Chain A
């Protein structure tokens, strides 16, 4: 009776632990799979224009690229909203109407929200932080819509979008080279498929073991043998040949021993 009681308690404790483990995994997987909210829905009043007049005078017209208030402008995060971005471009054109034709205003704004902004984010982008990367993806996609709504600045919006989506694709490629298993992570796959929709393709990094599986699956036996043979050192090749010879010798020995035994039995 005592023995049954012990079994009962052991099984009960085991069941409770099992439920907790299960709940933990459900909790963790739910947390990891949350896609961050689109930053475009932030509370930036799109109808306003950044006050360039506080930083630029008409005398800066010929030197707008150097005089542009990069730090102050990026701090407002107005660039996150394509509508605000459009207003700011128009605002800059109103101050320097001559630069509109030459494209100097557009160039300065482009530098601000591409190379300068990248320098601010560079440190953050050295490590795989999926939530930050997804925000870049969403912004890059939103800018594409900016190109549709503002046909006058289509090239600008497409170029900024391309800059960030291209950078994001390169970064994801880098991260997956370092950690090939990333390709199985939900958020990585989410970004990969969204990028592919916009024709930004991220090459799959395949480990040597996965390569063997793929070749077997595709019946590429010849390629598998050739590739394995080519990539092994001379010592490995010699070891392989010795192994094959030894195995063959064992089989032949066993085979002939059986035949001899059978013959002896018969005689």
Chain B
């Protein structure tokens, strides 16, 4: 009888955990800090066990808006956060299209390889993400049968191979500013335009564990100054010992950002929310726990 009661109570606890818990403890950490007068908010995501995955909605699908696509997809998913993604061609979500090269689940949305954006981000159907510098001319693609190929996407012939590969695998691809690549600063100080910034950082911590961090830089800074601050911060705080890449998201005319606590409630901490509702998103990057 006692055994049965204990088993029953244990089952209820487990069930409650599954019903209310969005994600496990220790996978997500939120913190706020300052560097050189700039306030940073950090959403630190652990790569432990590959439980945290990424999904990108690059564009509306026929008549279905990005917001509606997200609603249809998110059923049964444990959402950690979502944010507006890459640059758009026009500041109105209803008619906006991706401003640079973009493939959504294998469908080519924009064929134009923008000359001034070095970052090519690939999101695989498995929920993994990888960034490449198109300057390096070595995008690593793996076909379903296991064969590998190095692609120079700036070469129009090889670009065709890449597009065919993305169609076959259902990959999602977008182009944006690559700010740091393989521990090297990759952005110049040419642009004087100031704004608040949102970056996605990927790398390894001191113990060699993979991490991705979404960083909001809340001051009005140039892309160069904000990136330099973030790199300095990551190095001095020992959050990451190795930075694989940092790329830029668009908090300009579609500043959508929302973070959920581990209990599924919306995080109300300052700096962890965008100024627009999700309906205003022309594209969306979503982190979820599986």
Binding-face segment, A60-68, A77-85, A202-210: A202-210
Contact indicator A165/B89 (Cβ below 8 Å): no
Residue A114 CB within 8 A of the other chain: yes
Name A's interface SS.
Answer: helix
B159: nearest chain-A partner, CB-CB: A162
Known: A201-B98, A206-B91. A230 touches B157 (CB 8 A): no
Residue A222 CB within 8 A of the other chain: yes
Known: A114-B156, A214-B92. A201 touches B220 (CB 8 A): no
B219: nearest chain-A partner, CB-CB: A230
Set of chain B residues within 8 Å of A162, measured between Cβ atoms: 111, 156, 159-160
Contact indicator B157/A110 (Cβ below 8 Å): yes
Residue tally, chain B, CB below 8 Å to A: 26
Q: Interface range on chain A: under 10, 10 to 19, 20 to 34, or 35 or more?
A: 20 to 34
The proximity string for A residues 186-227 relative to B, scoring 1 for CB distances below 8 Å and 0 otherwise, is 000000000000111111101000010011001000110010
Set of chain B residues within 8 Å of A202, measured between Cβ atoms: 89, 112
Most buried by B among A159, A169, A203, A206: A203
Residue A163 CB within 8 A of the other chain: yes
Shortest distance in angstroms between A16's beta carbon and chain B's nearest beta carbon? 45
Instruction: Give the docked Cα–Cα distance between A222 and B277 (Å).
Output: 13
The proximity string for B residues 151-174 relative to A, scoring 1 for CB distances below 8 Å and 0 otherwise, is 000001101110000000000000
Chain B contacts with A in 185-220, Cβ cutoff 8 A: 194-195, 220
Instruction: Give the docked Cα–Cα distance between A116 and B113 (Å).
Output: 20
Instruction: Give the docked Cα–Cα distance between A150 and B90 (Å).
Output: 37
Shortest distance in angstroms between B75's beta carbon and chain A's nearest beta carbon? 30
Chain B contacts with A in 76-132, Cβ cutoff 8 A: 87, 89-92, 97-99, 108-115
- A-B pairs, top 5 by smallest CB distance, nearest first, are A163-B156, A203-B89, A159-B156, A169-B112, A159-B157
A-B contacts, 21 listed (Cβ < 8 Å): A110-B156, A110-B157, A155-B157, A163-B156, A166-B111, A166-B112, A169-B111, A170-B114, A173-B112, A173-B114, A199-B108, A200-B110, A201-B109, A203-B90, A204-B90, A206-B91, A211-B91, A214-B91, A223-B275, A230-B194, A230-B195
